[in-house]
Amino acid sequence: MSRYSNFQYDPRRALWVVGFLMPALAPLLFGLQHIGVNLWVIAVTPLALLFGVAPIIDHLIGKDTRNISNEVLLVLKHDPYYRRLLYLIVPTYALGVFCACAIASNGQFTTAQWLLFTIGSGFVHSLIVLVAHELGHATQKRDQQLAGFALSLIAYGHFSLEHNMGHHVNVATPKDPASARYGESIYGFALREMPGIVRGAIAIEKKRLDRRGQNWWSLHNSLLKSWMASLCILAVLVVFFGAVAIAFYALHCVVAWFSITMANYTAHYGLLRREVNGKRERCGPEHSWSSSFLFSNLLFFNLQRHADHHKNAQRPFQSLAMLDNTPELPSGIPGLFCMMLVPWIWFYVMDKRLLEFVEGDLSRVNGVSNAAISENINVK
């Protein structure tokens, strides 16, 4: 028997297969469509699951704050079970995108049904960025290549560059496009974050190529290779399903990007690393929002234990801990998605939590001007 087969190492070990629910959804719906299930059921299921069922399950199951003991962290890190899960989930997502396009392209949907299904599929398949995120932080070339393929499925190949070399450096500062500011709605954040991440990735890649004396328009450019891979995926879809696949893939990817932006919005909203002697303080647990809801942590591969990820970027998802002195979100990510789409609800809930966590100290809040800080440093 393998020394990794003992479940005492990870109390959630058998539950991580929850991560397959989202990529397996489109193949399941594809089968249901072919046996005659009502088209409205097919069309609304992705959105209903993510925005309705998932938040309810999250609160019914509740929180799980258990951490892996230090004695077994190394064992979990080298347990091949977790890496194999990620390796299997990437082709499952590829099948999911293919089946979703097949459903949307067969001409059975009305325009409203097509829009609902395509938007829902974009939200569901955006979760592949979490697998790519995990693999992209690994040092093995195979993992990074698989991460690149995963991102190409949603035309988001610029993510790894900007996330690893931009976001992790500038997190919780005004310089970081992926750190939301106090009082900034999801819609305003999206208009700043989405193009900001692309620009950041281009600048990082250009600097890397210049340093090596390599041309932008060459096979050395990782961004161009990723975007070409996405065009190849689109070409395959067009070959199988015709020109309608172009509209599906375009809207599917735009929604996936927006969904990733929504997740980023929750991670550092309003939190600021202050300047100390002209330099930003180190990123600590107090600069990331975290959540301990069990179901969404399984679904999002512990993304919600975000403070520990920024403290230990190379730590695998199964080992991430809930840290002390980190502000806690009122819900898992699916519930937060529902909140942020209505900004006044988000501000009502989150601004109060933010100001309570920083104890009214506006110098710890991202998005507050220096004038406001000097006038009212201890707002309660």
Q: What is the largest CA-CA distance in the chain?
A: 67
Q: Burial of 21 by CB count in 10 Å (0-12 exposed, 13-18 middle, 19+ buried)?
A: middle
For residue 376, pLDDT over 60 is answered with: no
Confidence of residue 350 (pLDDT cuts 50, 70, 90): very high
| Residue 258: closest CA among 301, 194, 303 | 194
Enumerate the domain spans of the chain. 7-349
Report the pLDDT value the prediction gives residue 369, as an integer from 0 to 100. Answer: 67
Q: According to the model, what pLDDT value does residue 370 have? A: 58
Backbone phi and psi for residue 129, each to the nearest 5 degrees, phi listed first: -65, -25
Q: What is the pLDDT of residue 375?
A: 57
**Mean pLDDT score across all residues of the chain:** 92
pTM: 0.93
Helical H runs in the chain? 25-34, 39-48, 54-61, 73-77, 80-105, 111-125, 128-136, 141-152, 159-162, 168-170, 186-212, 222-241, 244-267, 294-299, 306-311, 333-340, 343-357, 370-375
Q: What is the pLDDT of residue 139?
A: 77
- For residue 342, pLDDT over 90 is answered with yes
pLDDT reading at 65 higher than 80: yes
CB 187 within 8 A of CB 230: no
Cβ contact 128:93 at 8 Å: yes
The pLDDT assigned to 373 comes to: 55
pLDDT for position 4? 40
